[in-house]
Amino acid sequence: MVWTFGATLLVALALAVLAAIGLWAHLLYWVKRLTLPLEYSVEEVLRTEDGAPIEIRRVPRPDGAEAQPDLPPILLVHGLAANHRNQDIHPDYSLARHLATLGRDVWLLTLRSGRLLTRAERRSVRFSAMVRYDLPCAIEAILERTGARSLDYVGFSMGGMLLYAALGRSVAGDRVRRVVIVGSPGRLTTPVRLMRFLPGRLLPGVPLRLMARSVAFASEWLPTPIHHAVANPRNVPPGVTRLALVNCIEDIPAALNADFAAWMASDGEIRVDGERVLDGLASVGAPALFIAGSADRIAPASAVRAAFDAWGRDRPETPKRFLVLGRDFGAREDYGHGDLAVGAYTGVDLFEPIARFLGPDLQAEDAPGPETGAVALEAIQARQPTSDETAPMPDLPAA
């Protein structure tokens, strides 16, 4: 029998099909095994004014948790390449459920960038669109459903950046009582100037969802440079990285990728409608707690500090504090970016200071915590001399 080229091609195609089926079955197996569903008392899809779908979820309070009706609801907003699970990965490492256990009414927002999108929907995922439509839509919906006049806002990474841009533009200052910023840069500190020669329309999206799910099963076998770029592996509990890759990571659409690339290609300044976002923070009066990780390579402390310095610059009475989480500053570990959400010691280093800050009464010594805040602030002041804006926080009025 003569073995023909056509037969060889058929065998090769058959082997390729079998390999693809095997890889797909492998992916489905691990996705099913690592998917961790969590319960919510409300899950609702909203439509913004420009027609984009976003989602809000209400975190249930556990049995025995006494409600705090005198305090406003809390809205948690996720970062880039993530969904609402950003700060709710696992019940044991969840800021959302920590606050709910204390009796707070906690809500999670899924921005348009955090959903599984159609090709048509991807075109509308721009930073400015989320500023203009997503945040006000979610905030007003939550205030309407709870009857509150304002809410507390916790933004992680891009979630904080969106609030920088939205306050005074699409979100009135009186709709936000207090603000917590976790790893949200005020400017991008690693501008890649060569990118200015690449038109934004040529930048592709980043299919992180499939990539993350494909490698989740092996993601904790051996730390790589990618691990260290995203988080401090020493500070991530076993099993959490795999859960995060399957339950939290989403694609970065090309349009949103182009927005970030444009800022990086120029001077690192975040702009909306041509205006520098940090300039709009000068008149902000909401009390704010800024948190940065000492080992964060995505949003270094200096980048978060840029937003802190701009916050309420024209209103010296605005209460604000800056906290760096790192061993040199009294924390249990040096925090990277991802572990600001799911670090092994976040309960003590992060969740408790946030809960105190968002409580009914706040004394100068209560936030961000005597064991970390004072030391960190003193160290930052020594490295980066600033004005007296970082003086101890005065007493805040009750809610």
CB count within 10 Å of CB 375 equals 18
Q: Write out pLDDT tens, residues 117-127.
A: 998 999 999 99
Do 293 and 194 touch, CB atoms closer than 8 A? no
Say what the pLDDT of residue 22 is: 72
Q: How many CB atoms lie within 10 A of CB 147?
A: 8
| Sign (positive or negative) of CA dihedral 379, 380, 385, 389 | negative
Mean pLDDT of the chain: 87
* Helix or strand (DSSP H, E) at 156: strand 151-156
pLDDT value at position 159?
98
CB atoms closer than 10 angstroms to residue 162: 30
Q: What is the pLDDT of residues 176-186, one digit of tens each?
A: 999 999 999 99
Q: Which is more confidently placed, 321 or 383?
A: 321
Alpha helices in the chain, H assignment, sequence order: 5-34, 95-101, 119-122, 127-129, 135-146, 158-166, 208-215, 225-230, 240-247, 254-265, 301-310, 339-342, 346, 352-357, 373-383
Residue 197: the pLDDT is 54
| Band of pLDDT at residue 253, cut at 50, 70 and 90 | very high
What global pTM score does this model have? 0.88
- Examine the pLDDT at 370 and tell me if it is beyond 90: no
| Cα separation, 156 vs 160, whole angstroms | 6
Q: pLDDT (tens digit, 9 = 90+) per residue, 315-352?
A: 999 999 999 999 999 999 999 999 999 999 999 999 99
Average pLDDT over residues 149-164: 98
- As beta bridge partners, residue 56 has 44, 109
- pLDDT class for 373, splitting at 50, 70, 90? very low
User: Which tens digit of pLDDT belongs to each residue from 74-100?
Assistant: 999 999 999 999 999 999 999 999 999
| Whole-angstrom distance, CA of residue 101 vs CA of residue 87 | 15
* Structure-derived torsion over alpha carbons of residues 18, 21, 23, 26, reported in degrees to the nearest 10: -120
Could you tell me the CA-to-CA distances from 30 to 44, 141, 245, 347 in Å, in that order?
A: 28, 36, 11, 29
